Structure 1
Amino acid sequence: MNASPQLPLPPHFDPARVGEVWRVPYQTRAEEAPAWARRHGIRPAVEDPFRLCLVAVDVQNTFCIPGFELYVGGRSGSGAVDDNRRLCAFIYRNLGRITEICPTMDTHHAMQIFHPLYLLDPAGGHPPPYTLVSADSVRSGQWRFNPALAPALGIPVEEAQRQLLHYAETLEQSGKYALTVWPYHAMLGGIGHALVSAVEEAVFFHGVARASRPDFHIKGDNPFTEHYSVIGPEVLEGPGGAALARKSEKFVDMLLRFDAVVIAGQAKSHCVAWTIADLLRQAQARDARLARKVYLLEDCTSPVVVAGAIDYTEEADAAFRHFAKAGMHVVRSTLPLEDWPGIPTRHD
Structure 2
Amino acid sequence: MKLREFEHIVDVDKIGEPINQPLGDFLAQPNQSIQKSGADKEKSLLLAIDVQNDFMDSGALGVPGAKQDMERLLHFMYNHFEDITHVMASIDTHKPQQIFHPCWWEDAEGNEPEPLTIIEWADIKASKWKPRFFEQESKTYVQKLEERSKKQLCIWPYHCIQGSYGISLEGQFTRMAYLHSLLRDYELKTVVKGEDPLSEMYGIIQPEYSERDLVRRDVIEQIKGYDNVIIAGQAKSHCVIESVKQIVDHLKEGTNQLNHIHILTDCMSSIPGFEEETEEEFAQLEKDYGIQLLTSNQW
Shift of 1:7: 9.5
Q: Retained in 1: the 8 A contact 2:9–2:176?
A: no
Q: How does 1:281-300 map to 2 (within 5 A)?
A: 281-289=249-257, 291-300=258-267
| Bigger radius of gyration | 1
Question: What is the identity, as a one-letter code, of the residue corresponding to 1:98?
Answer: I
Tell me which residue corresponds to 1:69.
60
- 1:285-320, Cα deviation, whole Å (9 max, x unpaired): 24333x121100000000012xxxxx1111221122
1:124 equivalent in alignment to 2:74: no
Shift of 1:132: 0.1
Tell me which residue corresponds to 2:294.
331
Give the TM-score normalised by structure 2: 0.95
Q: 1:211 aligns with which of 175, 185, 189?
A: 185
Tell me which residue corresponds to 1:156.
none
Cα separation, 1, equivalents of 2:4 and 2:278: 31
* Structure 2 residue matching 1:316: 3-state secondary structure: helix
Cα separation, 1, equivalents of 2:74 and 2:22: 16
Question: What is the identity, as a one-letter code, of the residue corresponding to 1:329?
Answer: Q
- 1:106-159, Cα deviation, whole Å (9 max, x unpaired): 00001110001111111111111110000000111111111xx4xxxxxxxxxx
Q: How does 1:111-260 map to 2 (within 5 A)?
A: 111-146=97-132, 149=133, 160-237=134-211, 243=212, 245-260=213-228
Cα separation, 1, equivalents of 2:140 and 2:265: 35
Cα separation, 1, equivalents of 2:260 and 2:82: 19
Q: For the structure 1 residues 259 and 8, does the alpha-carbon distance in structure 2 shift closer, same or farther, using more than 3 Å as the test?
A: farther
- 1:218-253, Cα deviation, whole Å (9 max, x unpaired): 00010101000110000022xxxxx2x421111111
Q: Retained in 2: the 8 A contact 1:304–1:313?
A: yes
Cα separation, 2, equivalents of 1:15 and 1:93: 15
Q: Retained in 1: the 8 A contact 2:102–2:112?
A: yes
Q: Retained in 1: the 8 A contact 2:91–2:191?
A: yes
Q: Retained in 1: the 8 A contact 2:107–2:130?
A: yes
Question: What is the identity, as a one-letter code, of the residue corresponding to 2:203?
Answer: S
Unaligned 5+ segments in structure 1 are 74-78, 150-159, 238-242, 306-310, 341-348
Shift of 1:324: 1.4
1:99 equivalent in alignment to 2:85: yes
Cα separation, 2, equivalents of 1:203 and 1:129: 32
* Seq. identity, %: 29
Tell me which residue corresponds to 2:22.
25
* Structure 2 residue matching 1:16: 3-state secondary structure: helix
Q: For the structure 1 residues 286 and 248, does the alpha-carbon distance in structure 2 shift closer, same or farther, using more than 3 Å as the test?
A: farther
Question: What is the identity, as a one-letter code, of the residue corresponding to 2:260?
Answer: K
Provide runs of 4+ in structure 1 moved above 4 Å: none
CA RMSD between the two structures: 1.8
Q: Retained in 2: the 8 A contact 1:7–1:95?
A: no
Q: Retained in 2: the 8 A contact 1:139–1:165?
A: no
Question: What is the identity, as a one-letter code, of the residue corresponding to 1:295?
Answer: H
Shift of 1:8: 5.9
How many pairs align? Answer: 298
Question: What is the identity, as a one-letter code, of the residue corresponding to 1:29?
Answer: F
Tell me which residue corresponds to 1:273.
241
* Structure 2 residue matching 1:216: 3-state secondary structure: strand
Tell me which residue corresponds to 2:269.
302
Cα separation, 1, equivalents of 2:93 and 2:16: 21
* Structure 1 residue matching 2:54: 3-state secondary structure: helix
Tell me which residue corresponds to 1:55.
47
1:316 equivalent in alignment to 2:278: yes
Question: What is the identity, as a one-letter code, of the residue corresponding to 2:256?
Answer: A
Tell me which residue corresponds to 1:261.
229
